[in-house]
Amino acid sequence: MTRSLGGAESTAARLRTAIAGGHHLPGAQLSEERLSDELGVSRNTLREAFRLLAQERLVEHVFHRGVFVRRLTAEDVRDLYAARRVLETAGVRACSPESPALSDAVTAVDAAQAAAAAGRWAEVGTADIRFHAALVRAVPSERLHGLMDSLLAEMRLAFLSTDDPAAFHADFVERNRAIVAALLDGDRDTAASLLGDYLDDAERTLVTAATAGAPRT
């Protein structure tokens, strides 16, 4: 049983990476037969992997149709950003100039800027995710860290709904830099204000994208 679960977790991780990389777009059906062959795993292992991803809200089972990558609604996006505001604001408020979490956030911003300069846009998106995860690491709570990681995994579905996910992340690189600059100066109020504006603008963009991409009924 442990071996089976481990195989399912490994398979789920591979699928999670493929989804985050845009290889399976929101709304796409995940063929059990094809993926079983591609990944070299049994149907049972793949079904267990689907179950794990469904718990993370990355895929959904549609009765009599199969498994699909979730397409977030505008309300999903609003809900995700409501949660992110609570967690990331708490992270900013807990952050000091000496915090290891802030050091990790600076490293993520540096990586994003270097990737953007080289036109490696997928890496920009990954670094942006790391930046926001790092902010929450300033709060000494493993449960909150896990919750933030789960939210950010789901956020990737929202990013993929934009016309140009790379450009979406690139637009916020300098704003991430401004947030860490304020935190390095010990100015948590300014950092919190900059973060609030950032999240408001990002939410507005993604809500528009989710609304435009909603299936017609």
| Residue 192: burial class (beta carbons within 10 Å; 0-12, 13-18, 19+) | buried
* 162 backbone dihedrals φ, ψ, rounded to 5°: -80, 160
Q: Answer whether residue 215 shows pLDDT above 70.
A: no
Question: How many alpha carbons fall within 13 Å on the CB side of residue 162?
Answer: 20
Q: Answer whether residue 181 shows pLDDT above 50.
A: yes
pTM score, two decimals? 0.84
What whole-number distance in Å separates Cα of residue 174 and Cα of residue 176?
5
CATH architecture, domain defined by 74-213: Up-down Bundle (1.20)
Question: Looking up tokens 């100066």, which residue turns up?
Answer: 185
Q: What is the pLDDT of residues 58-94, one digit of tens each?
A: 999 999 899 999 999 999 999 999 999 999 999 999 9
pLDDT at 5: 53
DSSP 58: S
**pLDDT band for position 184 (50/70/90)?**
very high
Please give the C-alpha separations between residue 53 and each of 56, 73, 90, 159, 217, in angstroms, as whole numbers.
5, 18, 27, 18, 27
Q: What is the pLDDT of residues 57-67, one digit of tens each?
A: 999 999 989 99
Q: What is the pLDDT of residues 94-152, one digit of tens each?
A: 999 999 999 999 999 999 999 989 988 878 888 999 999 999 999 999 999 999 998 98
Residue extents of the structural domains in the chain: 7-69, 74-213
Higher-pLDDT residue of 122, 19: 19
Please give the C-alpha separations between residue 98 and each of 30, 102, 128, 192, in angstroms, as whole numbers.
45, 7, 21, 17
DSSP 187: -
| Residue 51: burial class (beta carbons within 10 Å; 0-12, 13-18, 19+) | middle
Q: Which CATH class is domain 7-69?
A: mainly alpha
pLDDT at 217: 46
pLDDT at 98: 96
Question: Looking up tokens 């977790």, which residue turns up?
Answer: 9
Q: Answer whether residue 176 shows pLDDT above 80.
A: yes
Question: Looking up tokens 């929202």, which residue turns up?
Answer: 158
- DSSP E strands: which ranges in 55-144? 59-62, 66-69
